[in-house]
Each structure stands twice: as structure tokens, then as C-alpha cells.
Amino acid sequence: KNQVEQSPQSLIILEGKNCTLQCNYTVSPFSNLRWYKQDTGRGPVSLTIMTFSENTKSNGRYTATLDADTKQSSLHITASQLSDSASYICVVTPNRDDKIIFGKGTRLHILP
């Protein structure tokens, strides 16, 4: 069964610190993997997208990595800001006939 597991479920860090969120998936083969940021009460917004052949993708202070061999992806946030407080969702798109699969997300809290 295709699955996307994210860890930790929640994370609290101080403003200015770095953090890394994990995504493990069993979807294979897949066409792309995305990381979304979802602010409270808002819809998800895409941060990065990587195809299976890409290893890393950056978007400002956000850097996503992908290891297709171990089926793991991570999202690294550098120099966190209060506005980074949100849920971060890992999403994997299988082949063309299967539905995209959303992880349950990691809830990140940035403390001043």
C-alpha cells in the first residue's frame, strides 16, 4: 500500500534555530515529491517540488532533499522565523493512474 509517513508529528524550536522535518514514503515508482506549508486556517502552499531524479531543491530558507534509494525526503529550515509556524506536508505523486498521497504533516511551532 502506498504510504507517506512524516516525523515528528510536532516540533517546537526557538526563533533563529534550524530544523529538519522528515518524510518516508513507500510509493514507487513516483513522478514527484512536494513539500507544502499550511498556515492555520489556510490552504496548503507549495514550497518545493522534486522529480525522482533530483536530490535537492531550495526555496529561500527552505531546502528539500530526496534520497530515492532509501525513499526518504527531508525539509530543512534555516534561521527559523516566527512566520514559519505552520504545518508542513509531504506529498507524493505516484504514476499517472494513481492518486497523489498526502502525509499527515508536521506541526512546527517557532517560539520567540
Partner 1 sequence: GAGVSQSPSNKVTEKGKDVELRCDPISGHTALYWYRQSLGQGLEFLIYFQGNSAPDKSGLPSDRFSAERTGGSVSTLTIQRTQQEDSAVYLCASSLATAWPLSYEQYFGPGTRLTVT
Chain residues in the site for partner 1 (CB under 8 A): 4, 31-32, 41-46, 49, 51, 89, 93, 95-96, 99-100, 102-105
**Number of helices followed by number of strands (H, E) in the chain:** 0, 11
Q: How far is the CB of 12 from partner 1 (least distance, A)?
A: 17
Q: Please say whether the dihedral angle defined by the alpha carbons of residues 24, 41, 51 and 3, taken in this order, is positive or negative.
A: positive
Nearer to partner 1, 19 or 91 (CB): 91
Nearer to partner 1, 68 or 80 (CB): 68
Virtual CA dihedral for 85, 86, 87, 91, nearest 10 degrees? -110
Q: How far is the CB of 87 from partner 1 (least distance, A)?
A: 10
